[in-house]
């Protein structure tokens, strides 16, 4: 019998339209409750069986609970989302007769909006040259029937399918055709990826004509768009004909040309280690996607990268490819804590992470075929946290959110502070501290608390110490008016939704005792 869980029929649901939620592995009757930022907006009886039908809802992120008296099952509903949300997953295997059901389940379970089809093509410079069945450049079996079936499966589950395409790479068989456009270093050697791929000028007119036509043909397979990849180098180079190439400019030209060729496609370009995000953020693509490497090793590096990206174009979603290599070297518990701290950092700063894919896999390597099978603890962690991400979307993702930590915290400001008897609080991610961040959102002030008290450093891709709950936390707040503020807290590892807590008033100050802090707590102050 499958494990008990709630699964929405679609990762993203239309507003004002009945929503179907599957009840899997639990046939008992119970009560369904739907909440919006902690406020109950709908309840209904569930008579048992495998389906719950919820009446249409306004746009927003909702938490859903089914209480059967013995168990409580939870999920979330993303309703009426625009294209400025991106929860990214992947597939990386396309053997004939592949069962697509597990991939569709993951899309629904984690409310994924987009799926990258990694290395689906015949060759990097010849996407469809292999016919219906072929071996890819690294000898993986590919069936286009499977590719089409996966596109259909993720689409029916509510996600978009994005085909992977390298924007400037040719393999040995195709290289003679493109060598005159190759990029060289100062020693006159061609740039490449070992002896496997060679790099050419992505803005050369002949290449752009070929690349655009290849993408347009691939678009006919059913892809909703494309993930446009690069390798992070070179930044400046000499072309075979002697022209000095600014690769940043070439990337921008390439993205604009692909957009002109495919005006309705969803396009996502990979800014490797933040190169060249400042320039490509303004191009006609649909997200700001950054793959991070050394020296971006600490949680603070991730936070600063996201803040920069959001400032370049506040209208685009920000996705960080932060591969959790730690799962290959550490026990699941220590790696799960690293992932939780990474997600807490990214989610609290308004970004998401490319991490999960296939039916049950994690990215631990830039070659996605070398992925890691999730442990049950990791599956449960991701379900809780992605439910939390969707249910608290209004506190995390809107473009209007601004960081106000420096204008509210500290003795000089005196507007808001949090203290714990057994741990110091810092506005920066510091080992041995609680990292406190304050934002102003359309819903009110939001305080993020991330528990680093047990950690000896703040590396995001390293085995972490088990997080010890911190009790006794107190929030102190300067009231803005005569009415006491309403203060609610939410924790992805507890109930997963906002719960209002008691507030004490003394003169112009309000204080509230906080529940124990686990890994990440979100506090909403409605004044």
Terminal C-alpha separation, the chain = 48
Q: In whole angstroms, give the CA distance from residue 321 to residue 324.
A: 9
The pLDDT assigned to 481 comes to: 85
The set of residues, in sequence order, having a beta carbon less than 8 Å from that of 495 and lying 6+ positions away, is none
How many other CB atoms sit within 10 Å of the CB of residue 3? 10
Tens digit of pLDDT at every position of the chain (527 positions): 678 999 999 999 999 999 999 999 988 899 999 999 999 999 999 999 999 999 999 999 999 999 998 899 999 999 998 888 999 999 999 999 999 999 999 999 999 999 999 999 999 999 999 999 999 999 999 999 999 999 999 999 999 999 999 999 999 999 999 999 999 999 999 999 988 899 999 999 999 999 999 999 999 999 999 999 999 999 999 999 999 999 999 999 999 999 999 999 999 999 999 999 999 999 999 999 999 999 999 999 999 999 999 999 999 999 999 999 999 999 999 999 999 999 999 999 999 999 999 999 999 999 999 999 999 999 999 999 999 999 999 999 999 999 999 999 999 999 999 999 999 999 999 999 999 999 999 999 999 999 999 999 999 999 999 999 999 999 999 998 888 999 999 999 999 999 999 999 999 999 999 999 999 999 999 98
Helix (H) or strand (E) holding 251: helix 247-261
Same fold, 88-166+206-230+267-396 and 402-526: no
Rounded to 5 degrees, φ, ψ at 246 are: -85, 105
Q: In whole angstroms, give the CA distance from residue 280 to residue 257.
A: 13
* Fold observed for domain 5-79: Immunoglobulin-like (2.60.40)
CB 364 within 8 A of CB 374: no
| Beta pairing partners, 392 | none
Report domain extents, the chain: 5-79, 88-166+206-230+267-396, 402-526
Q: In whole angstroms, give the CA distance from residue 249 to residue 88.
A: 27
CATH of domain 88-166+206-230+267-396: 3.20.20.80
The pLDDT assigned to 372 comes to: 98
The pLDDT assigned to 1 comes to: 66
* Tally of CA atoms within 13 A in the half-sphere of 102 that contains its CB: 13
Q: Where are the alpha helices (DSSP H) in 79-133?
A: 101-109
> What HEC string does 6-58 produce?
EEECCCEECCCCCEEEEEECCCCCEEEEEEECCEEEEEEEECCCCEEEECCCC
> For the purposes of burial, counting CB atoms within 10 Å of the CB of 293, is it exposed (0-12), middle (13-18) or buried (19 or more)?
middle
The pLDDT assigned to 198 comes to: 97
Phi-psi region of 108 (alpha: psi -120 to 50; beta: other; left: phi over 0): alpha
Phi-psi region of 232 (alpha: psi -120 to 50; beta: other; left: phi over 0): left
Give the Å distances, CA to CA, from 286 to 105, 227, 281, 314, 394. Answer: 25, 10, 9, 12, 20
Is this model's pTM higher than 0.75 or not? yes
How big is the chain by its Cα radius of gyration, in Å?
Answer: 24
CB 521 within 8 A of CB 436: no
CB 111 within 8 A of CB 161: no
How many other CB atoms sit within 10 Å of the CB of residue 305? 23
* Tally of CA atoms within 13 A in the half-sphere of 382 that contains its CB: 28
The set of residues, in sequence order, having a beta carbon less than 8 Å from that of 194 and lying 6+ positions away, is none
- Return the closest-CA partner of residue 203 out of 254, 243, 167: 254
The pLDDT assigned to 480 comes to: 87
Rounded to 5 degrees, φ, ψ at 472 are: 85, 10
402-526: what CATH class? mainly beta
Give the Å distances, CA to CA, from 273 to 224, 233, 254. Answer: 26, 10, 19
DSSP 515: P
> What HEC string does 382-423 produce?
HHHHHHHHHHCHHHHCCCCCEECHHHHCHHHHCCEEEEECCE
How many other CB atoms sit within 10 Å of the CB of residue 159? 28
């Amino acid at each position: 019998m499958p494990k008990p869980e709630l699964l929405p029929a679609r990762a993203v649901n239309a507003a004002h339209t009945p929503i179907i939620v599957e009840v899997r592995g639990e046939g008992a009757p119970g009560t369904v409750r739907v909440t919006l930022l902690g406020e109950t907006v709908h309840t209904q009886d569930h008579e048992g069986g495998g389906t719950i039908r919820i009446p249409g809802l306004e746009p927003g992120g909702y938490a859903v609970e089914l209480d059967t008296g013995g168990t409580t099952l939870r999920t979330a509903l993303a309703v009426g989302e625009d294209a400025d949300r991106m929860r990214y997953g992947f597939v990386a295997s396309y053997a004939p007769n592949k069962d697509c059901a597990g991939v569709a389940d993951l899309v629904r379970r984690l409310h994924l909006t987009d799926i990258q089809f990694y290395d689906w093509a015949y060759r990097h410079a010849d996407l469809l040259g292999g016919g219906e069945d072929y071996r890819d450049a690294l000898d993986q079996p590919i069936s286009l029937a499977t590719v089409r079936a996966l596109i259909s499966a993720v689409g029916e589950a509510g996600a978009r399918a994005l085909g992977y395409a390298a924007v400037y790479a040719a393999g040995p068989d195709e290289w003679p055709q493109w060598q005159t456009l190759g990029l060289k270093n100062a020693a006159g050697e061609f740039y490449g990826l070992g002896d496997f791929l060679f790099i050419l000028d992505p803005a050369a007119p002949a290449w752009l004509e070929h690349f655009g036509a290849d993408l347009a043909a691939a678009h006919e397979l059913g892809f909703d768009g494309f993930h446009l990849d690069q390798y992070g180098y070179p930044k400046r180079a000499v072309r075979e004909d002697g022209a000095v190439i600014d690769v940043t400019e070439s990337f921008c030209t390439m993205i604009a040309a692909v957009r002109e060729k495919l005006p309705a496609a969803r396009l996502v370009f990979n800014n490797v280690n933040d190169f060249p995000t400042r320039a490509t953020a303004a191009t006609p693509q649909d997200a700001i996607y950054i793959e991070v490497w050394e020296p971006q090793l600490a949680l603070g590096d991730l936070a600063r990268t996201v803040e920069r990206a959001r400032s370049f174009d506040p209208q685009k979603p920000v996705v960080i490819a932060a591969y959790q290599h730690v799962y290959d070297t550490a026990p699941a518990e220590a790696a799960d804590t690293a992932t939780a701290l990474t997600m807490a950092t990214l989610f609290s700063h308004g970004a998401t992470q490319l991490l999960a894919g296939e039916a049950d896999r994690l990215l631990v390597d830039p070659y996605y075929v070398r992925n890691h099978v999730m442990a049950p603890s990791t599956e449960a962690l991701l379900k809780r946290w992605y439910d939390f991400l969707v249910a608290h979307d209004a506190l995390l993702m809107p473009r209007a959110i601004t960081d106000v930590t420096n204008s509210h915290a500290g003795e000089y400001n005196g507007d808001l502070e949090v203290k714990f008897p057994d741990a110091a609080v810092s506005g920066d991610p510091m080992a041995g501290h609680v990292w406190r961040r304050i934002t102003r959102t359309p819903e009110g002030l939001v305080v993020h608390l991330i528990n680093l008290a047990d950690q000896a450093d703040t590396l995001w891709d390293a085995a972490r110490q088990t997080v010890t709950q911190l009790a006794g936390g107190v929030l102190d707040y300067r009231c803005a008016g005569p009415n006491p503020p309403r203060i609610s807290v939410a924790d992805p590892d507890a109930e997963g939704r906002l719960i209002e807590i008691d507030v004490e008033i003394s003169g112009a100050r309000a204080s509230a005792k906080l529940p124990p802090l686990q890994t990440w707590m979100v506090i909403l102050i409605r004044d």
